[in-house]
Amino acid sequence: MSTPGQVDTEIETTAAPGERLRLAREALNLSQQDVAERIRIGVDKVAALEVDEVARVGAPVFAAGYIRAYARIVGLPADELIPRFDGLEHLAARPATLASAAVDGNLERLSAGLPAALSRGNGRRRGATLRLIGAGLLILALVGALLWVMDNGSLSLPAAPVASTPAKPLPQNALPASAVERPGDPLPEPPRVESDSHGPQTLAIPAQVEAEPASEPVGREEDLALAPNARAAASGDEPADAGEALAAEVMNELDLYFQEDSWVEVRDARGERLMHRLARAGQSQSLRGVAPFAVVLGYVPGVTILLDGEALDLSRYQGRRLARFSVGAETANEN
Amino acid sequence: MFARLRGLFSNDLSIDLGTANTLIYVKGEGIVLNEPSVVAIRMERGTGNPKNIAAVGIEAKRMLGRTPGNIQAIRPLKDGVIADFTVTEKMLQHFIHKVHKDKFKFFHPSPRVLVCVPCGSTQVERRAIRESAAGAGAREVYLIEEPMAAAIGAGLPVNEASGSMVLDIGGGTTEVAVISLTGIVYSASVRIGGDRFDEAIINYVRRNYGTLIGESTAERIKEEIGSAYPGDEVLEIEVRGRNLAEGIPRSFTLNSNEILEALQEPLSGIVSAVKTALEQTPPELGADVAERGMVLTGGGALLRDFDRLLAEETGLPVLVAEDPLTCVARGGGRALEMIDETGTDVFASE
């Protein structure tokens, strides 16, 4: 009978760990039954281990435990053997790092007087630096977002009041294109529609829109019917000013007058959003786009709508506050 | 809300608040702290004797039994439960800060914390642990029973409908449990652990050598030559202690057979707890345990040949888990990760 040491050197070259166990067992003149009895498991499990079929033995914790016991009986190094089995590779690193740190570490650390055994000190420090950088970027992003929100908020908040107040008598030509395109402009919607299509018109339209509220409050208060006419006249001049015959043919004009606060959303046939905001009582808005218009009104009783100077009958929405409908050539009969 | 913000800068922790050692496992980082549960308290001279913490952990352990009058090195946990509430809270606070030390200094850490409790602990004891973790700055506190955490950490198939038996031998308590379908079918806790082994060694040495040794020495003896089953070789160790008759420190030699004899009483306590557990286990689960064996975790599992003793006594396969000392903390960490997958099934109610 050979000693465990000799057995080890003899079979060291064999690759399969189960085979190593088997050879070591045979070298000691032990049968599978003997080993099974000493570990107190079934012979089938011992046989399975010898052909490297760890899965048949059970969960990895059991397989590793049996291998450890088997290796002890036949005098093989278990720590070296276990990771070589398929499915037990993950058990390789653990005894080397954590267990030794935990078991031997206590005494070593006590004598060395080191602070806590943070075996992964370097990794953790690197992680911390990365985190610090990450947090810095996050804070920058947050500050940026906050500034952006404040920026937009401060510009869009006055938007409504400016539109509602009777416009300052702006010189019509003094409204430059740059002012129209400025983000958060008091009346962003109508200008944008036009600016998309034609340069010269962008100048004309805002001027008209801006000018309108100036005349509007007076007219609206006294006679609603009068206002449309005035508006029609104004709009009649407008295409001539623009000198765009084509646009005049295609474009329809939608005028909205608000006696009460109401949410308004208007899209034209091209899907372009012409208006999308809360309109205050006393305001008015003139929109140009391709009919039919899809209109959403938050408070129908407080709104009067004119399509190309013709008042629309909104009486069928009378009992309601919210209304969605479309306005324009094809759907004229619907109204 | 502010706590949640600070939570972003804190890691989820699993704490094995043991009588002997406290281990902290951080999700994704592994065991980051493994220190003795010892706190040294300095009494300031002057009015009212204000107390402050002189040292915690390893430093404090080195002071154990070596302190002058105004410093007291104490172990705030006894038998797996809190014996000194405020000191435990301070110790936890210290450890949680230590784990977060090289992170964000301008935030007080406010992690989600899972703490392991002995299964035999009472409601009051569990509440004390929960409160002290909360007092140490935890945003949320979960409790898990130690054997459950140990089983998860050891890699036992706790989700399956088959019995898994785990024996967790800690510093203050030994927990034995049979687990099936993420639930504890049977559990028992005996207040015998590594500390009782040390005490037994101290008593043996005093009785047979008329010499007094300290706790640290006893622990060193246990680690170096202690065994639970007669082995082939006899190990020896030289120790120093105060001779009771002469009052003078003397040096003498102990061997492993003597220590085996000294440890008989606590060992038989644990063996009988295991036997009782096997008696009480429902037959189907008992059959599973008999087929696959029981798994040892905790520092006590490192006592030489403990698995062999249990195998001889019970006739069952007995396996020592990989890295038994950290099983509970790792299992707790795994349970924290499982919150999102399976909910809070595995946690203990208060």
Instruction: Report the distance separating Cα A156 and Cα A185, nearest Å.
Output: 8
- Give, in order, the Cα–Cα distances in Å from B6 to each of B93, B127, B234: 15, 24, 55
Tell me, yes or no, if B35 comes closer than 8 A to chain A by beta carbon: yes
B16-31 per-residue burial string, b: 16 or more CB within 10 A, e: under 16: bbbbbbbbbbbeebbb
Task: Determine, for residues B33 and A116 on separate chains, whether the beta-carbon distance falls below 8 Å.
Answer: yes
Instruction: Report the distance separating Cα A61 and Cα B323, nearest Å.
Output: 11
Mutation site, B6, B104, B289, B292, interface A, largest A CB count within 10 A: B292
Chain B residues in contact with A65 (beta carbon < 8 A)? 293, 295, 317, 319-321
Q: What is the pLDDT of residue A89?
A: 77
Tell me, yes or no, if B321 comes closer than 8 A to chain A by beta carbon: yes
Q: What is the pLDDT of residue B29?
A: 83
CB A23, CB A14: distance < 8 Å: yes
Strands B236-243 and B112-117: unpaired
Tell me, yes or no, if B183 comes closer than 8 A to chain A by beta carbon: no
Q: What is the pLDDT of residue A129?
A: 64
Chain A residues in contact with B325 (beta carbon < 8 A)? 99, 102-103
Task: Enter the DSSP assignment of A272.
Answer: -
Tell me, yes or no, if B291 comes closer than 8 A to chain A by beta carbon: yes
* Degrees, nearest 5: CA angle B175-B176-B177: 120
How close is the nearest chain B Cα to the Cα of A152, in Å?
A: 26
Helices (H), chain A: 4-11, 17-27, 32-39, 43-50, 60-74, 78-81, 93-94, 100-103, 105-112, 121-156, 159-164, 177-181, 189-197, 199-222, 226-242, 245-250
Tell me, yes or no, if B257 comes closer than 8 A to chain A by beta carbon: no
Task: Give the 3-state secondary structure of residue B77.
Answer: strand
Which amino acid appears at position B303 of this protein?
L
- For the beta sheet containing B183-190, the strands, ordered from the edge strand earlier in sequence to the opposite edge, are B183-190, B174-180, B164-169, B294-297, B318-320
- From the first residue on, what is the mean pLDDT of each consecutive set of 10 residues in chain B (350 residues)? 55 86 87 91 74 88 84 85 86 86 62 87 88 87 92 91 93 92 91 93 95 92 94 90 93 94 95 95 93 93 93 93 91 84 69
Beta strand spans in chain B (E): 13-17, 21-26, 30-36, 39-43, 51-56, 71-74, 77-78, 81-82, 112-117, 140-145, 164-169, 174-180, 183-190, 211-212, 236-243, 249-255, 294-297, 318-320
Q: What is the pLDDT of residue B321?
A: 92
Instruction: Report the distance separating Cα B5 and Cα B139, nearest Å.
Output: 11
pTM over 0.80: no
Write the DSSP string, B17-50: E-SSEEEEEETTTEEEEEEES-EEEEEPSSTT--
Indicate if ipTM > 0.90: no
Tell me, yes or no, if A55 comes closer than 8 A to chain B by beta carbon: no
- Give, in order, the Cα–Cα distances in Å from A17 to each of A23, A47, A79, A179, B173: 10, 13, 12, 81, 38
Nearest Cα to Cα of residue B296 among B286, B287, B305, B288: B305
Task: Determine, for residues A131 and B103 on separate chains, whether the beta-carbon distance falls below 8 Å.
Answer: yes
Peptide bond into A292 cis (omega under 30): yes
Mutation site, B100, B322, B325, interface A, largest A CB count within 10 A: B322
Q: Which of B30, B155, B315 sits opposite A60 (nearest CB)?
A: B155
CB A17, CB A84: distance < 8 Å: yes
Q: What is the pLDDT of residue A149?
A: 79
CB B89, CB B146: distance < 8 Å: no
- From the first residue on, what is the mean pLDDT of each consecutive set of 10 residues in chain A (335 residues)? 49 71 91 90 90 86 89 88 82 44 39 34 49 81 83 52 43 45 45 42 43 44 45 46 51 84 84 83 84 84 83 78 76 43
Tell me, yes or no, if A155 comes closer than 8 A to chain B by beta carbon: no
Instruction: Report the distance separating Cα B76 and Cα B223, nearest Å.
Output: 23
Chain A residues in contact with B58 (beta carbon < 8 A)? 109-110, 114-116
